[in-house]
Structure 1
Amino acid sequence: MKVLRRSAVTLVVLLLAAGTIRLVLGEASPKKVLTGRSAFVSSIAVKPGIFRKIVPADLPKPYATKSVSTKSRIVPRPAGLLPQAPAGFKVGLYADGLVVPRVIRVAPNGDIFVVETRAGRVHVFRGISADGKPQESSIFATGFHEPYGMVFYPLGKNPKWLYVANTDSVVRYAYKNGDLKATGKPEVVIADLPSSRSRDENAWKAYDLAVSQGKTPPDHGHWTRDLAFSLDGKRLFIGVGSASNVDDPDEHPSETRRANILEYTPEGKFVKVYASGIRNPSGIAVNPTTGQLWTSVNERDGLGDDLVPDYITHVQEGGFYGWPYYYLGDNPDPRHLGKHPELKDKVIVPDVLLQSHTASLQMTFYDGKQFPAQYRGDIFASQHGSWNRLVRSGYEVVRVPLKNGKSNGVYEDFLTGFLTPEGDVWGRPVGVATAADGSLLVSDDGSGSIWRVSYTGK
């Protein structure tokens, strides 16, 4: 085989019997990219540092495999077992004992805000000690209803507000840098977000009981509501997932203004549906360099192990992404054949297809300086883990390399190891954020922990 110079091509394709492997030559050393069927890897087998690319042509037909329910029962983390990152990175436990930690946001002064969904509160951590632990912590506020998204406003070094999304509303607290506790009562910004979740305290108990018995828990619709502001501060974006798996909005009023990214003013006035047909945009973020809105999406279930892929994509204003009638372009969902043919040619194909049922949650753009230069501006996104797949997928954090703000569809398995060697689940990644020192923070609602990934070069 001839030796190829790095400047000659961006991708070199080698055809192998097991599938296609490509070499990515954009980094310090060539990286193999698994493609075709080789890109479909179980959570037990996945290792950090592996690159993958999935395209629509790789996918099976609907119902190629039976739809299954394999709910994960969380086991205690075995002693000494830690998440795994690529060579040169170190993983340490930053904090534990949290009650379903979800979204993480870092304040301009470096304080780390974490939503504890089950406890209905926002926790704040300050500093990183020599042994990688918080130097101080406090409860910022309590009394939320399934809180998830947070965002500081206005953008910049001196925000005046902290916005927090409940599942059915958005509130904000007066805030100045350094506040460890809310100094006043919350102001309701949006009182009527679409939601079908009960405020009954017993709702979580019923959910926990079903999971502990290996049963499918009650379905009250997608409840996560992530938040992001446009760079000019004039637009507040809110991700609102569907009320069901694939109910037809024409026949189900509960789907009104759902499976969308909604746009509001900072003061809470509804402006428009910014983008639609997005089943569950559970993570949204604005690229701080380009100003583009991106989302990480939980796609639909029930069509088999490898349909439909979750995805990460930039969001086109006014764009339609298919749900529930189509997926990944003009592919029809067999449960809605013949419905809305006028939409068929309008369906946008997302930028990055992930393995199906991985349950993509929060995403962030890496804006630190601790990691090597090629990581700056890249996306990190959590994969909470599958339930609608015979062999588990997800349970990791992935990295999406960007060049000039764009993706070529490749992603990297970055932080893995949340399963035991026997396949039991002990951790489930959710929140991702860049700490003030440039390390990457990852919340894990399986073990109630926050992990810190730092670069040592060793």
Structure 2
Amino acid sequence: MTTLSSIVARGVALVGNAALQWRKLQGETPQPAWGAQPQIPVAKPQGMLPTLKMPTARGWKDGETPVAAAGLKVNAFATGLDHPRWIYVMPDRSVLIAEATQVPSPVRNMFGYAMQATMRRAAALGVSANRITRLVDADGDGTAERRNAFMENLSQPFGMALVGDTFYVGNTDGIVAFPYAQGAERITAQGKQLTHFKPGGHWTRSLLVSPDGSKLYAGVGSLTNIAEQGFAVEEGRACVYELDIVSGQSRIFAGGLRNAVGLAFEPTTKVLWTVVNERDGLGDETPPDYLTSVREGGFYGWPYCYWGKTVDDRVPQDPAQVATALTPDYALGGHTASLGLCWLPAGTLPGFPDGMVIGQHGSWNRSKLSGYRVVFIPFENGKPSGPARDILSGFLAPDESFSYGRPVGVTLGPDGALLVADDVGNCIWRVTGA
């Protein structure tokens, strides 16, 4: 049955495509904004109809895999999952997978209709499984042959962490603590809510334990693109939280981070790093998503400015806040949706030094798609030290019409291999030396 909303969605999508084609005719071919000193094009606000382009979700056929970089190989560690987003490895060598997705929110305008229709087609919106699945590779052949539901009926779970006999889950509405017995295959006990986060918008809540095991860090994204629904609804969002495990007290550790997702510590300096999804509607490469160290008490610009103190004129300004804005460490390209983050020690993969691995989920707000790959950033002396390198690519069809998969969470598995969650492919990839 054809509904009014579907007609509106198709109509707005057509208008959005026409606007995209018009921008192409104007010769907009910005160079990718990558590295510590990126060349970021001047903002060109796209108005009420920003570029809307996402590939249809196709998934992988039997025998298909992403393309591994030279010297590497990839195999499916697990398949048949339901929108797997994040990965956590337990001391008993089991691998936990958070299965969840964005759910529809009230539509506020015609573009919202088009956006939701496009996201459904791209498998980025739907019914959330709200589950954590436990995988076990008992025979060590690189493929999980056992699985069971570790936890169910959660609230869009994402981040996971085990500290002692307590298992923490980053639900969209807060951090919840559950009692855990060593080697348990399932948790059914009632949890204790430790923090309360506002759900909706950027819904993922990553978790990371501090090196000394005393604190938890959580990424909490904004509700909107540039606080267009007002600043009150953004209170307590667009930040990284710190939770003291002993006292139970929590606070905002750093702010102005539109959507900080993956978190990782650089092991030598013990400095916290994150990857951040920047704002939309200013152009293909403006501003870039980024990888940055997270300074305690630091402010990184959102929503007033980006990449340091570059003011976003669409937002009512606060000059005092802008004056304090920190410049991120490393640009990751415009709208790459860099989500996953983990530290990769030198030698884990042949030919790769120390550095960070980043799962780039892929763009929707640019004329030529970007991301849709797993990349590596080398580090020296606690800082990024060179250009990015691909680890996995081939998630996107050459003509950009469909995606085989979209990488999200990344971590090192129990055998030291790199594991990658693929939410469109509904699988976990395992990367090793060839």
What interval of TM-score do these two structures reach, taking the shorter chain for normalisation?
Answer: 0.7 to 0.9
**Does residue 61 of the first structure (1) align with residue 39 of the second (2)?**
no
Which stretch shifts more, 297-306 or 78-87? 78-87
**Does residue 277 of the first structure (1) align with residue 282 of the second (2)?**
no
Q: Partners in 2 of 1:362 and 1:245 — Cα distance?
A: 20
Match of 1:72 in 2: 55
Match of 1:384 in 2: 361
Aligned with 1:327 (options 306, 309, 314): 306
Q: Partners in 2 of 1:291 and 1:430 — Cα distance?
A: 24
Match of 2:26 in 1: none
Preserved contact between residue 370 and residue 437 of structure 1 (Cα < 8 Å)? no
Q: Partners in 2 of 1:130 and 1:151 — Cα distance?
A: 24
Aligned with 1:112 (options 91, 95, 107): 95
**Does residue 142 of the first structure (1) align with residue 152 of the second (2)?**
yes
Match of 2:398 in 1: 421
Counterparts of residues 214-253 of structure 1 (less than 5 Å): 221-247=201-227, 251-253=230-232
Distance 1:144 1:183, change over 3 A: closer
Q: Partners in 2 of 1:54 and 1:391 — Cα distance?
A: 23
Aligned with 1:352 (options 330, 335, 342): 330
Residue type of the alignment partner of 1:445: D
Preserved contact between residue 170 and residue 189 of structure 1 (Cα < 8 Å)? yes
Preserved contact between residue 62 and residue 334 of structure 1 (Cα < 8 Å)? no
What SS does structure 2 have at the residue aligned with 1:329?
coil
Q: Partners in 2 of 1:78 and 1:397 — Cα distance?
A: 20
Preserved contact between residue 30 and residue 285 of structure 2 (Cα < 8 Å)? no
Aligned with 1:85 (options 59, 68, 71): 68
**Does residue 165 of the first structure (1) align with residue 147 of the second (2)?**
no
**Does residue 446 of the first structure (1) align with residue 424 of the second (2)?**
yes
Which stretch shifts more, 366-375 or 141-150? 366-375
Q: Partners in 2 of 1:142 and 1:289 — Cα distance?
A: 37
Identity, % of aligned positions: 38
Residue type of the alignment partner of 1:365: W
Q: Quote the offset at 1:180 in angstroms.
A: 1.5
Q: Quote the offset at 1:267 in angstroms.
A: 5.3
Q: Partners in 2 of 1:353 and 1:83 — Cα distance?
A: 24
What SS does structure 1 have at the residue aligned with 2:320?
helix
What SS does structure 2 have at the residue aligned with 1:454?
strand
Preserved contact between residue 377 and residue 388 of structure 2 (Cα < 8 Å)? yes
What SS does structure 1 have at the residue aligned with 2:314?
helix
For structure 2, the residue ranges without an aligned partner over 5 or more in a row are 1-28, 101-127
Residue type of the alignment partner of 1:188: Q
Preserved contact between residue 223 and residue 241 of structure 1 (Cα < 8 Å)? yes
Q: Quote the offset at 1:107 in angstroms.
A: 1.4
Preserved contact between residue 299 and residue 308 of structure 1 (Cα < 8 Å)? yes
What SS does structure 2 have at the residue aligned with 1:345?
helix
Deviations 1:366-389 (A, max 9, x none): 2486423743x4211111110101
Q: Quote the offset at 1:128 in angstroms.
A: 6.0
Deviations 1:227-271 (A, max 9, x none): 11222222221111011000168x431101110111222157344
Distance 1:171 1:344, change over 3 A: closer
What SS does structure 2 have at the residue aligned with 1:342?
helix
Q: Partners in 2 of 1:421 and 1:306 — Cα distance?
A: 20
Q: TM-score, normalised by structure 2?
A: 0.81
Deviations 1:284-341 (A, max 9, x none): 222333321111111000111111100111101111100010111111002126x111
Q: Partners in 1 of 2:129 and 2:346 — Cα distance?
A: 30
Q: Quote the offset at 1:438 in angstroms.
A: 1.4
Q: Partners in 2 of 1:60 and 1:242 — Cα distance?
A: 24
Match of 1:212 in 2: none
Distance 1:193 1:130, change over 3 A: closer
Preserved contact between residue 355 and residue 384 of structure 2 (Cα < 8 Å)? no
Distance 1:340 1:64, change over 3 A: closer
Deviations 1:178-197 (A, max 9, x none): 2221163323222x2122x3
Q: TM-score, normalised by structure 1?
A: 0.77
Match of 2:284 in 1: 305
Which stretch shifts more, 281-290 or 252-261? 281-290
Preserved contact between residue 371 and residue 438 of structure 1 (Cα < 8 Å)? no
**Does residue 132 of the first structure (1) align with residue 136 of the second (2)?**
no
Preserved contact between residue 30 and residue 41 of structure 2 (Cα < 8 Å)? no
Q: Partners in 2 of 1:37 and 1:288 — Cα distance?
A: 35
Distance 1:342 1:438, change over 3 A: same
**Does residue 175 of the first structure (1) align with residue 180 of the second (2)?**
yes
Residue type of the alignment partner of 1:252: F
Match of 2:9 in 1: none
**Does residue 400 of the first structure (1) align with residue 380 of the second (2)?**
no
Residue type of the alignment partner of 1:123: T
Q: Partners in 2 of 1:132 and 1:271 — Cα distance?
A: 39
Aligned with 1:342 (options 308, 320, 345): 320
Distance 1:367 1:107, change over 3 A: farther
Q: Partners in 2 of 1:65 and 1:264 — Cα distance?
A: 39
Residue type of the alignment partner of 1:284: L
Q: Partners in 2 of 1:79 and 1:120 — Cα distance?
A: 27
What SS does structure 2 have at the residue aligned with 1:164?
strand
Q: Partners in 2 of 1:296 and 1:384 — Cα distance?
A: 12
Match of 1:16 in 2: none
